A and B are shown apart, each in its own frame.
Chain A
Amino acid sequence: MRLLTHNMLSCNIKGVTNGFPLIIEAEKVLEKPVDLNPDFLRNMFHKVEWKALVDAAKSLGYSELPESVDPAMLESPEFLHRFHHALLELHLEEGALVCPETGRKFPVNKGIPNMLLHEDEV
């Protein structure tokens, strides 16, 4: 699971209001290089919750993202490289996503998060 996907997921339990971002418990992290596309990153920059990405990257052991950002940074190749690496190249392979409100753990196995709910959570 890439961190862009993590940035798209919230806890889906009925009644939970602060279900984003899910806290990452990482057991195994993979890096898979992919081509960098500046246009894609500029497009995604406006859709990503930055703080959630920074914290998620840290929980995977990557602390090179700046804490605060502004769109002018998208002109910097160094910034784009770091953003690209955090967003698309780091994968949570094994671990869990934890709801910040309830503490419910959603397992991630072989890179696939399982967001299925129990009957009493729907």
Chain B
Amino acid sequence: MSYRTAQIRLVSSHPEVYEPCDDSFALVDALLADLTNLLEHKPSLCIEVGCGSGYVITSLALMLKEKVPDTYYVATDMNPDAVRVTRETLEAHGVDAELIITDIVSGLEKRLEGLVDVMVVNPPYVPTPEDEVGKSGIASAWAGGEDGRAVIDRILPIADTMLSERGWLYLVTLTANNPSQICRQMRERGYASRIVVQRSTDEESLHIIKFWRDPEIRPSLKETTAPNSESLLSQFSRFSFWKGGNSGGSL
């Protein structure tokens, strides 16, 4: 029996693991909507950060299984129960991924720099008090700190480092996360973006955004820690008289 996406009745569960929900379904729908491109892309290495129940990585592996049979899948979660549940979900569908219990991709950054062709992230995006972020158990699946951005803002520079030249990032965001600002920040790193799926439910409005490196976009920022002063500096550096007239300047 072969399925196009993971079947809910075959998805394993645990009281401390986030079950597939509207955001998971929207992310899988985005991957399905982009499937023609993914099949042409023929990713060698796909990573899901925060795999939870395993619904998304299992679905991705099922989608690509026939036409891109040799893709290597890696899935991470900081919740050990989630990683075990993901293993069961993968096995129930007859697909395979390498699993690692870790914070985002800690331990993989050095060796996988510039090697990831597809990165899929359904981050903890719910605005919560900062001290709820990164707690053990199921809360780590949603607690996103101020504006729900605490974990997202850590993931963006990591994604930039890990993605290959042709790499793609699919990211779930909530309107409260200010997705247009996320797109602007990624643009400063040289990425174009597109909303693949937009979905409003009773409780939240979700955007699934795809990012890819666009050679037309020149990265303007290396770090975004101090956007105001940085952008001012980069504006100044564009004035040719400034460069020419001050040979001692480091701008």
A interface residue numbers (CB < 8 A to B): 1-2, 4-5, 7-12, 19-20, 35, 37, 39-40, 43-44, 47, 49, 110-117
Q: How far is the CB of A60 from chain B (nearest CB, A)?
A: 16
Q: How far is the CB of B124 from chain A (nearest CB, A)?
A: 16
In the bound complex, what is the Cα–Cα distance between A2 and B79 (angstroms)? 21
Contact present for B87 and A117 (CB under 8 Å)? no
Q: How far is the CB of B225 from chain A (nearest CB, A)?
A: 19
In the bound complex, what is the Cα–Cα distance between A112 and B108 (angstroms)? 14
Q: Given A40-B44, A40-B70, A110-B87, decide whether A115 and B100 contact each other with a Cβ distance below 8 A.
A: yes
Is B83 engaged at the interface, CB distance under 8 Å to the other chain?
yes
A40's nearest neighbour on chain B, judged by CB, is: B70
Is B111 engaged at the interface, CB distance under 8 Å to the other chain?
yes
Which of these, B44, B98, B103, B109, contacts A1 with CB under 8 Å? B98
Contact present for A117 and B108 (CB under 8 Å)? no
Residues of B within 8 A of A113 (CB): 100-101
Q: How far is the CB of A67 from chain B (nearest CB, A)?
A: 21
Known: A112-B80, A115-B103. 6 other contacts (CB 8 A): A5-B100, A7-B111, A10-B111, A12-B102, A40-B44, A110-B84
Contact present for A112 and B101 (CB under 8 Å)? yes
Is B106 engaged at the interface, CB distance under 8 Å to the other chain?
yes
Cβ contacts A to B, 28 pairs, < 8 Å: A1-B98, A2-B98, A4-B98, A5-B74, A8-B74, A9-B100, A9-B107, A9-B111, A10-B107, A10-B110, A11-B107, A12-B107, A20-B110, A20-B111, A35-B69, A47-B115, A49-B111, A110-B84, A111-B87, A112-B101, A114-B102, A115-B100, A115-B102, A115-B103, A115-B106, A116-B78, A117-B103, A117-B106
